[in-house]
Structure formats: C-alpha cells, structure tokens
C-alpha cells in the first residue's frame, strides 16, 4: 500500500462540479483532472460548458456545487495567481496601448516574470512591439494575448479557444508556439471545439457535451470513436426502420432527404439499396464534429481513462 506512486498528482481539478446559470444547467456533475506536464484538450461543441469549467478553475466563477482546486488551493487564491496564466475569449484589451506597454504592465503583476524581449520572441511579436493593439490583425492580437498569458512564467496555462477566428496560417503559427510550451515543462489546458486542434496539440482529451464528460482518452482514441459517416439519400424507407439497422446511430428526415449517421456505412448503403430500388441522390460524407459528438452521446458510455 505504501509503494511509490508513479502517477503524478493532479495539478488542478474539478470534482463533481455542477453549475447553473438560472435555469440553464451548464455543468452536470463534472470531474476534470489536469496532470503535471500534459497538454489537456477540453473538447466540445459550442455551449458544451468548456468555458464555464475554465472559469471555475480560474476563480472568475464561484463554485456552486462540488470542488475546484489548483495547486492544492482555491482557484482564486494569491498562491495560484502567481503561478498561472490565462488566455480568455475576450473581445480585446486597450486599443490605445502598444504591445510593449501591455506586456510591461502584465509583467509587473508577477514576482518572476519572463523578460520582455523573450516574451516578444516567444509570441513572434518582435516587429510589432511599438504598434498599438488596436492596429493589429486578429492573429497578431491573439499572439499578444498569448504573450500576456505567459508574462508571469506560469507553471499552468489556460488557453480558452485560442485560435477561434484565426485563418489557417495564424492558427498553425499559434499551434507551434503552444507546442514549444510543452517542451518547457509547462502544463497547459486547452479548450477547443476543433477536433483537429486537439489532435495536433493535446496529450489527452476530455470531451464535454451538455456539461457532462462523455469521453476521455488520447486524441487517437477519441478520433477512432468519432469515425462515423453521414449517409444521405432520397428514399421511401422510414427513418425509424433505418435507425434499427446495424451500426446506425441516428436516422432522421431533413427536407426530402433521409440522413443516417452510422459507423458501418458500407453495410448501410448495401441494405438501403436492397430495400429501395428507387433510392436516389445518394451521398456518403465524413460526419462533422456535431455528428461525432452525437455519436459519442448516443453511445452513452463514459470513456476509459
């Protein structure tokens, strides 16, 4: 019983947290554990409760039910603030201050900040230091927010949808900057609704849907579980009949078309063609993320850790 414990203790955790905004249930008995040195991807569709979970770990929301701990302290404790950095979904910081001024101000908040020149280099902002924040492009603004999150040389970093609204180039640039953080031994919590982003960056992924954890594992495990296909066609076969076929997760009518989400598209197509010779306008496409989440939800299984 006293043997050396190899698994590293949680750096931050939510335990059985339930959170409501008025009548709306945002988090439903959620457990979340952040382990030292990992990049944890918190994945889920918009409105799943990701930002609520992050806000509780940042102390910007009060815990209603359950418990939130960071470094063994309450999330808003001064001991936590000096060791944590955050990049939030906010519409902007003062447009009239320059990049260098913003960085200087945030560095002053922390006892052992990263040197300004290094922060500028880490976020790729060397050439923009004297530009006012308001004159930057969307990608450049996100890089400033990234630099501010790093200003205090944090052990634990929260990135809430860091690449939302960025074009492909800006996104990949920020991805490489986030990857570099892992090499430096920091722990990162990354929320995203983009499966590719979680795949590119995370060591471990937790999928949240309707405030509940519906899956957990490596990105590869999550992807294999969401590999459904959407079969679409015009047919006289009723959705209820299709729903009972093997591998079908859900079937519904949309306009003139039948839409069926399945993990076995070949079997389904064969079956549909056999049952309805008049079937027309058939397409098979990879399920979007919303469908993938639906597949996970319908499975109803908690992912193995």
Partner 1 sequence: MTGGAATASAGASMLARDAHRLTPARRFRIYLLEARFQFVEVLREPMFAIPTLAFPLIFYLFFGVIMGARGVSLAVPTYVLATYGVFGVLGPALFGFGAGLANERDTGVLLLKQTTPMPAGAYLFAKVMAALIFGAVVVAALFLMAAHAAGVALYRWQWFALAGVLLAGVIPFCALGLAIGAWARGRSAVAVVNLVFLPMAMLSGLWLPIYMFPDVMQDIALALPAYHHAQLALKVIAMDAGQPVPMHLAVLAAETLAFLAVAALGFRRADSFSMRRIR
- Contacting residues toward partner 1, per CB under 8 A: 21-22, 24, 26, 37, 47, 49, 51-52, 55, 58-61, 77-79, 81-84, 86, 88-94, 96-97, 101, 104-106, 108-112, 114, 118, 132, 148, 152-155, 180, 182-186
User: 59 vs 228, which CB is nearer to partner 1?
Assistant: 59
**How far does Cα 110 stand from its chain's mean position?**
27
User: 71 vs 175, which CB is nearer to partner 1?
Assistant: 71
Q: How far is the CB of 116 from partner 1 (least distance, A)?
A: 13
User: 59 vs 265, which CB is nearer to partner 1?
Assistant: 59
Dist CA 138 CA 140 (whole Å): 5
How distant, in Å, are the alpha carbons of 54, 71, 73 from that of 86? 10, 15, 17
List for the chain the helix, strand, coil content (%; round to 5). Answer: 35, 30, 35
User: 80 vs 230, which CB is nearer to partner 1?
Assistant: 80
Give yes or no for a contact between 71 and 80, defined as CB atoms under 8 angstroms apart: yes
Q: What is the 3-state secondary structure (H, E, C) of 154-188?
A: CCEEEEECCCCCCCHHHHHHHHHHHHHHHHCCCEE
Q: Say if strands 248-254 and 257-262 run parallel, antiparallel, or are unpaired.
A: antiparallel
Q: How far is the CB of 58 from partner 1 (least distance, A)?
A: 5
User: 187 vs 262, which CB is nearer to partner 1?
Assistant: 187
List the 65-70 sheet strands across, edge first: 24-35, 10-21, 65-70
Q: How many CA atoms lie within 13 A of 124 on its CB side?
A: 14
User: 108 vs 274, which CB is nearer to partner 1?
Assistant: 108
Give yes or no for a contact between 244 and 259, defined as CB atoms under 8 angstroms apart: no
Q: How far is the CB of 263 from partner 1 (least distance, A)?
A: 30
Dist CA 75 CA 67 (whole Å): 10
Q: How far is the CB of 288 from partner 1 (least distance, A)?
A: 21
Q: How far is the CB of 275 from partner 1 (least distance, A)?
A: 43
Dist CA 100 CA 98 (whole Å): 5
Number of C-beta neighbours around residue 212 at 10 A: 18
Q: At how many degrees (to 10) do helices 99-108 and 138-150 cross?
A: 20
Q: At how many degrees (to 10) do helices 168-183 and 138-150 cross?
A: 10
User: 17 vs 261, which CB is nearer to partner 1?
Assistant: 17
User: 112 vs 274, which CB is nearer to partner 1?
Assistant: 112
């Amino acid at each position: 019983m006293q043997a050396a414990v190899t698994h590293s203790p949680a750096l931050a955790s939510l335990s059985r947290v339930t959170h409501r905004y008025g009548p709306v249930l945002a988090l439903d008995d959620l457990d979340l554990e952040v382990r030292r040195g990992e990049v944890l991807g918190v994945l889920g569709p918009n409105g799943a409760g990701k930002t609520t979970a992050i806000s509780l770990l940042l102390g910007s929301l009060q815990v209603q039910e359950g418990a939130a701990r960071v470094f063994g302290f309450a999330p808003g404790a001064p001991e936590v603030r000096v060791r944590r950095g955050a990049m939030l979904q906010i519409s902007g910081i003062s447009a009239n201050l320059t990049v260098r001024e913003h960085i200087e101000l945030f560095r002053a908040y922390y006892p052992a900040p990263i040197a300004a020149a290094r922060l500028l280099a880490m976020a790729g902002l060397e050439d923009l230091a004297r530009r006012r924040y308001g004159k930057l492009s969307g990608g450049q603004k996100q890089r400033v927010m990234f630099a501010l999150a790093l200003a205090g040389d944090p052990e634990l970093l929260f990135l809430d949808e860091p690449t939302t609204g960025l074009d492909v180039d800006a996104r990949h640039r920020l991805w490489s900057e986030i990857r570099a953080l892992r090499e430096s031994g920091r722990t990162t919590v990354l929320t995203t609704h983009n499966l590719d982003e979680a795949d590119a960056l995370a060591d471990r992924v937790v999928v949240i849907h309707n405030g509940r954890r519906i899956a957990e594992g490596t990105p590869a495990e999550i992807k294999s579980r969401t590999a459904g296909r959407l079969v679409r066609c015009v047919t006289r076969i009723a959705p209820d009949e299709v729903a009972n076929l093997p591998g079908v997760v859900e079937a519904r009518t949309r306009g003139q078309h039948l839409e069926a989400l399945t993990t076995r598209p070949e079997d389904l197509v064969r079956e549909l063609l056999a049952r309805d010779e008049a079937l027309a306008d058939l397409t098979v496409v990879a399920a979007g993320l919303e469908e993938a989440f639906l597949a996970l939800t319908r499975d109803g299984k908690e992912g193995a850790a």
